[in-house]
């Protein structure tokens, strides 16, 4: 690794959720949907972008540009905010070309674009069809995931909600299936030759099965690993990616466990959220003998302004995956150096009595009442935007995992706001060892530095800052001092 890489792994001004990691040649590509800062236009209002990095240097991400533009999608409602180009997947077809599969918010069918190069640009190819050539629209083909295995092509889709089907879905779509669905496609990559086949039961049918409590919700992501077929999916809890394993592509699948929760629910028995949380979506990739899960987090106090993250997965005694802890390190492969300046938005822990215990929602923005990761645009150049945690008040705790400390002399926090602010620096746990305290009186629109003299700390530790302030504060960054 030539440089450190953190969560989120892309620039803070980029919002690429639903990340599907795919290795083509010597590069790792991430294909996802495209949100915007603030979420005013809802889920996925942008073009499909593609980012990639060398498999030998996970810190060297580059933007390969627009993979597939909204203007090139013939079935899309072009009015801003009225339609969504939701989570795509890309595989190399049996003819050597690269095929992108996706489903729109307002369409039932699964659409396809094709390119000679993994980075695109992709050109519209058509829709998944029945053998008579008509579009397959018996069910909404949401969140397509694709597997090419020994020259055979498999497509997986699905959307299943716990409880009664909402009226809006009854009125506008065919009945929602009670499970995710699998299909086999012809070598033309679009004609169904088998299916639909029930793959993973939704919550209403999961009772009494291995999937109970983790029934299917959305986000099918298939892989073949060690001769087995692995299905990653977002469970009925929505904040977690779970996985199931089968001996054949179209099942039968058995539940194996949770890979990651964007609220860190379940990790080490945790039952409390560590970040404001909402839906998640992602996939698996192996890099240099390590397995990683890609997922996303929420920002801006709303569900639909999401950023891609990744974590290394623990390997259990049976050789399968355990649940990953969400961290600030992500793809870094080792603790971050406790030296220099870090933006506060790389936090992996943000709690407060002001944050609702309910998941974030696209229909409810909570920026006015809750601490949140925020982007402030100051010019047309998005790379120059300010990024900070906004609406910090009493008892807000911000955490970062993990740093390799070598007895730093202190910390400097860059803050903006009005009134008295007191901050404690704590290591290991939110209520762990206090290693320093500081206070400052902020006086308006200028950024100020709050200094904390620290006890000598060495070794690998999580770092937390606990805030006390009657007025909302903005926290832009902190510097670890080693004078």
Q: What is the pLDDT of residues 190-235, one digit of tens each?
A: 999 999 999 999 988 998 999 999 999 999 999 999 999 999 999 9
Asked if residue 265 has pLDDT above 70, the reply is yes
Locus of tokens 């060690």: 226
pLDDT on residue 172: 58
- Sheet bearing 123-127, strands edge to edge: 89-92, 98-102, 111-115, 123-127
Q: What is the 3-state secondary structure (H, E, C) of the chain?
A: CCCCCCCCCCCCCCCCCCCEEEEECCEEEEECCCCCCCCCCCCCCCCEEEEEEECCCCCCCEEEEEEECHHHCCCCCCCCCCCCECCCEEEECCCCCEEEEECECCCCCCEEEEECCCCCCCEEEEECECCCCCECCCCCCCCCEEEEECCEEEEEECCCCCCCCCHHHHHHCCCCCCEEEEEEECCCCCEEEEEEEEEEEEHHHHCCCCCCCCCEEEEEEEEEECCEEEEEEEECCCCEEEEEEECCCCCCEEEEEEEEECCCCCHHHCCCCCCCCCCCCCCEEEECCEEEEEEEEECCCCCCCEEEEEEECCECCCCCECCCCCCCCHHHCCCEECCEEEEHHHCCEEECCCCCCCCCECCECCCCCCCEEEEECCCCCHHHCEEEEEEECCCCEEEEEEEEEECCCEEEEEEEEEEEEEEEEEECCCCCEEEEEEEEEEEEEEEEEEEEECCCCEEEEEEEEEEEECCCEEEEEEEEECC
**Residues 325-329: what's their mean pLDDT?**
98
Confidence of residue 166 (pLDDT cuts 50, 70, 90): low
pLDDT at residue 1, as a whole number: 61
pTM metric for this prediction: 0.96
pLDDT tens-digit map of 84-115: 999 999 999 999 999 999 999 999 999 999 99
CB atoms within 10 A of CB 429: 11
What pLDDT score does 170 carry?
60
Strand 192-201: give its sheet, edge to edge. 145-149, 152-157, 179-185, 192-201
CA distance 104 to 70: 11
Query: Is residue 47 among the annotated active site residues?
Result: no
Of 120-124, 169-173, 359-363, least confident by mean pLDDT is 169-173
- Please report which confidence band the pLDDT of residue 367 belongs to, taking 50, 70 and 90 as the band edges: very high
Report the pLDDT value the prediction gives residue 167, as an integer from 0 to 100: 63
Predicted confidence at residue 360, as pLDDT, reads: 96
pLDDT of 168 reads 61
pLDDT-derived band at 250 (thresholds 50, 70, 90) equals very high
405 — pLDDT class (breaks 50, 70, 90): very high
Position 444 scores a pLDDT of 83
Q: Quote the mean pLDDT of the chain.
A: 95
Query: What is the predicted pLDDT for the residue at 76?
Result: 93
pLDDT band at 165 (very low <50, low <70, confident <90, very high): low
For residue 81, pLDDT over 90 is answered with no
Distance of CA 141 to the CA centre of its chain: 21
Residue 164 pLDDT level (bands cut at 50, 70, 90)? low
Q: Is the pLDDT of residue 77 over 90?
A: no
Contact 481, 410 (CB under 8 A): yes
Give me the catalytic one of 20, 89, 218, 264. Answer: 218
Q: Tell me: the pLDDT tens digits for 272-310?
A: 999 999 999 999 999 999 999 999 999 999 999 999 999
User: What is the predicted pLDDT for the residue at 483?
Assistant: 79
Q: Is the pLDDT of residue 459 over 80?
A: yes
Span 312-338, mean pLDDT?
Answer: 97
pLDDT exceeds 80 at position 175: no
Mean pLDDT over 35-44 rounds to 96
Residue 440 has pLDDT above 90, yes or no: yes
Domains and CATH numbers, the chain: 20-332 (2.115.10.20), 336-481 (2.60.120.260)
Is 364 marked active-site? Answer: no
């Amino acid at each position: 690794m030539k440089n450190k890489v953190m969560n989120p792994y892309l620039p803070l001004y980029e919002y690429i959720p639903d990340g599907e990691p795919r290795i083509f040649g010597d590069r790792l590509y991430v294909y996802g949907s495209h949100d915007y800062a603030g979420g005013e236009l809802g889920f996925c209002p942008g073009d499909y972008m593609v980012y990639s990095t060398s498999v030998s240097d996970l810190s060297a991400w580059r933007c390969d540009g627009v993979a597939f533009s909204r203007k090139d999608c013939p079935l899309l409602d072009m009015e801003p905010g009225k339609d969504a180009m939701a989570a795509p997947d890309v595989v190399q077809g049996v003819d050597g070309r690269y095929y992108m599969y996706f489903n729109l918010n307002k369409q039932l069918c699964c659409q396809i674009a094709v390119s000679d190069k993994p980075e695109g640009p992709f050109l519209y190819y058509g829709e998944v069809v029945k053998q008579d050539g008509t579009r397959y629209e018996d069910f909404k083909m949401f969140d397509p995931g694709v597997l090419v295995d020994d020259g055979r092509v498999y497509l997986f889709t699905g959307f299943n909600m716990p409880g009664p089907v909402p009226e809006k879905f009854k009125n506008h779509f065919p009945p929602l299936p009670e499970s995710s669905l699998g299909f086999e496609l012809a070598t033309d990559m679009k004609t169904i030759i088998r299916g639909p086949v029930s793959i993973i039961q939704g919550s209403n049918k999961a009772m009494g099965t291995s999937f109970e409590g983790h029934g299917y919700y959305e986000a099918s992501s298939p892989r073949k690993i060690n001769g087995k077929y692995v299905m990653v999916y977002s469970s009925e809890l929505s904040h977690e990616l779970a996985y199931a394993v089968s001996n054949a592509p179209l099942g039968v699948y058995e539940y194996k466990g949770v890979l990651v929760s964007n609220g860190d629910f379940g990790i080490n028995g945790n039952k409390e959220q560590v970040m404001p949380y909402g839906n998640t979506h992602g996939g698996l990739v192996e890099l240099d003998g390590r397995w990683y899960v890609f997922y996303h987090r929420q920002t801006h106090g709303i569900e639909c302004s999401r950023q891609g993250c990744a974590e290394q997965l623990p390997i259990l005694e049976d050789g399968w995956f355990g649940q990953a802890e969400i961290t600030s390190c992500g793809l870094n492969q080792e603790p971050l150096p406790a030296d220099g300046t870090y933006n506060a938005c790389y936090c992996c822990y943000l709690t407060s009595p002001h944050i609702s215990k309910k998941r974030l929602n696209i229909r409810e923005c909570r920026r006015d009442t809750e601490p949140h990761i925020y982007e402030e645009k100051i010019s047309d150049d998005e790379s120059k935007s300010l990024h900070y945690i906004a609406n910090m008040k009493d008892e807000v705790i911000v955490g970062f995992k993990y740093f390799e400390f070598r007895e730093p002399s202190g910390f400097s926090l860059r803050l903006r706001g009005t009134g008295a602010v007191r901050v404690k620096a704590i290591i290991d746990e939110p209520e762990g060892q206090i290693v320093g305290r500081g206070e400052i009186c902020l006086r308006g629109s200028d950024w100020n530095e709050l200094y904390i003299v620290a006890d000598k700390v060495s070794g690998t530790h999580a770092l937390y800052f606990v805030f006390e302030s009657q007025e909302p504060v903005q926290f832009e960054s902190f510097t670890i001092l080693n004078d």
